[in-house]
Structure 1
Amino acid sequence: MSKSAARARLAEIIRKRSFGRGEITLASGRKSDFYFNLKPTMLDPEGAALLAELTYEALKDDNLDFVGGLEMGAVPLAGAIAQLSWIKGHPIAAFFVRKKPKEHGARLAVEGLAKGETLQGKRIVIVEDVTTTGGSALKAVEAVREAGGEIVLVLTMVDREEGATEAFAEAGLEFRSLYKAGEFLKG
């Protein structure tokens, strides 16, 4: 399947499984008359495969060591990208950042690293399913920077186009998206 065909098919899946209309309160606290819940797409076999493929293609030339982001949205994405990157012979390891460290066990903020493994000096992309203001991704950025990682860019599946571009620019971070909310709002 060509990249444009894969992108069009994934948009269909997102529209059917993950996009809706109706008043909702977003993670940012804002009210909206439309929403994206990408989990049904990320956990659908075809949706997961297409997200991984398009994301991998968008990232393969960035010389990355790790892909990760804030739980919960980044977990299925990071895992799928890591798996596909191995299959493609260009491995990119995955991790995720807890919203708050567990109060038992190792009490880690960053999960998925083997004993003795660190993000120190590693090139990292933060992934997110849906981005509104960028606040959630910036929490992950902060945790990764505290762990010594170098943030190469932030990549979201859907940019709601409500301030994230400006927030990331202000933070000096490159920001890319697979889709913009406007693509789903027309029609």
Structure 2
Amino acid sequence: MGDARGRLLALIRETAVVRGRVTLSSGAEADYYVDLRRITLHHEAAPLVGRVMLDLVDGRGLSPDAVGGLTMGADPVAAAMLHAASAQGRPLDAFVVRKQGKAHGLQRQIEGPAVEGRAVVAVEDTMTTGGSVMTAVEALRAHGAQVLAVAVLVDRDTGARERIEAEGLDYLAVFTKDELGLDDGPAAGAGTGEPARPTL
């Protein structure tokens, strides 16, 4: 994983970390913003995301049948992992969790292959409090899935780990904010909450 991880870290630092004053949707201000959609939807970085996230899960000895999370931050992460597994000849499905079921059609909250009775890992690009991923975990459990762990690309160290582990789940992260060279300024930004007004 070393080469892929190192290159991905470089791409995140170069591409996703936006310096400058940013007003977040909460109203708080930050000196930087981490936009991981610039990574998970990037032609070079996305395949690396799949490889390092899959290696992260493998490193804990987990063998999920499927991966996914709350739309939309988790969607490209899960898709990247699906393709990385396929390249290795391994079966791994992906799924998308809506905040609530659709009011028409099949009225599904979880899109993709069925998760009932299957082992899954809930994924995200980054997390602040863990609220979004726990919404996904609750939906997965309600639909009969066995949630093995939560895995994230960048851990912001702002309480998500504690919340996830309090639910009895393993919390796996590829990178910490320290590895990204980010300081502990007040209310530092992250890609799961869009900035309301960037002042870059």
Distance 1:175 1:99 in 2: 21
Q: TM-score if structure 2 supplies the norm length?
A: 0.83
Shift in CA distance, 177/24, structure 1 to aligned 2, threshold 3 Å: farther
Alpha carbons 2:56, 2:173 under 8 Å: kept: no
Distance 1:138 1:30 in 2: 23
Alpha-carbon deviations, 1:101-159, whole Å to 9, x = none? 2222212110112xxxx322211100100111100000000000000001100000001
Corresponding position of 1:23 = 22
Distance 1:137 1:82 in 2: 19
**Structure 1 alignment gaps of length 5 or more:** none
Corresponding position of 1:54 = 52
Alpha carbons 1:126, 1:141 under 8 Å: kept: yes
Shift in CA distance, 152/19, structure 1 to aligned 2, threshold 3 Å: same
Corresponding position of 2:5 = 7
Corresponding position of 1:63 = 63
1:24-39 counterparts in 2 under 5 A? 24-25=23-24, 29=26, 31=28, 32-39=30-37
Matched, 1:184 2:170: no
Q: How many residues align?
A: 179
Shift in CA distance, 24/130, structure 1 to aligned 2, threshold 3 Å: farther
Q: TM-score if structure 1 supplies the norm length?
A: 0.89
**CA positional deviation for 1:30:** 7.3
Moved more, 139-148 or 56-65: 56-65
Matched, 1:137 2:136: no
Alpha carbons 1:24, 1:35 under 8 Å: kept: no
Identity %: 35
**CA positional deviation for 1:35:** 2.1
One-letter code aligned to 2:52? L
**CA positional deviation for 1:92:** 1.1
Corresponding position of 2:171 = 175
Alpha carbons 1:24, 1:33 under 8 Å: kept: no
**CA positional deviation for 1:186:** 4.8
SS at match of 2:44: helix
SS at match of 1:139: helix
Alpha carbons 2:57, 2:172 under 8 Å: kept: no
**CA positional deviation for 1:56:** 1.3
